[in-house]
Amino acid sequence: MPTTPIGDAPYPSGADTDNVPADMQALALWASTRTTMRFDDAAARDAAIDTPEAGMVAWLDTPGSLTVRTASAWKTIYAPLSWSDISLAAGFTSYTGVPQACMDGANFVVCRGSIQRTVSGGNIATETIVGTLSSSYGSLVVGEYAIANQWTFHTSGRIYLNSSRQIMYVGPDVDWLSLHGLRFPIGT
CB 115 within 8 A of CB 162: no
pLDDT of residue 47: 95
* CA 151 to chain CA mean position, Å: 31
The predicted model gives 24-30 an average pLDDT of 86
Per-residue confidence band for 90, with pLDDT thresholds at 50, 70 and 90: very high
Q: What confidence tens digit (pLDDT) does each residue in 37-58 have? A: 999 999 999 999 999 989 999 9
The predicted model gives 85-112 an average pLDDT of 91
Distance CA(78)–CA(39), nearest Å, equals 15
Q: Where in the chain is the domain with CATH 3.40.1620?
A: 33-78
pLDDT of residue 69: 94
pLDDT at 86 > cutoff 80: yes
pLDDT of residue 150: 61
pLDDT of residue 165: 94
Per-residue confidence band for 35, with pLDDT thresholds at 50, 70 and 90: confident
Distance CA(96)–CA(6), nearest Å, equals 54
pLDDT at 188 > cutoff 80: no
Q: What confidence tens digit (pLDDT) does each residue in 52-82 have? A: 989 999 999 998 999 999 999 998 888 888 8
Q: Which CATH number is 84-185 given?
A: 2.60.40.2460
E strand or H helix that includes residue 60: strand 57-60
Contacts for 85-90 with beta carbons within 8 Å, 24 or more apart? 86/111, 86/113, 86/131, 86/132, 86/133, 86/167, 86/179, 87/131, 87/132, 87/133, 87/134, 88/115, 88/130, 88/131, 89/128, 89/129, 89/130, 89/131, 89/132
pLDDT of residue 28: 87
Q: Where in the chain is the domain with CATH 2.60.40.2460?
A: 84-185
pLDDT at 17 > cutoff 90: no
pLDDT at 160 > cutoff 90: yes
Q: What confidence tens digit (pLDDT) does each residue in 101-155 have? A: 998 876 899 999 999 998 876 889 999 999 999 998 888 999 999 887 665 555 5
Q: What is the pTM of this model?
A: 0.64
pLDDT of residue 99: 97
Q: Which CATH number is 33-78 given?
A: 3.40.1620
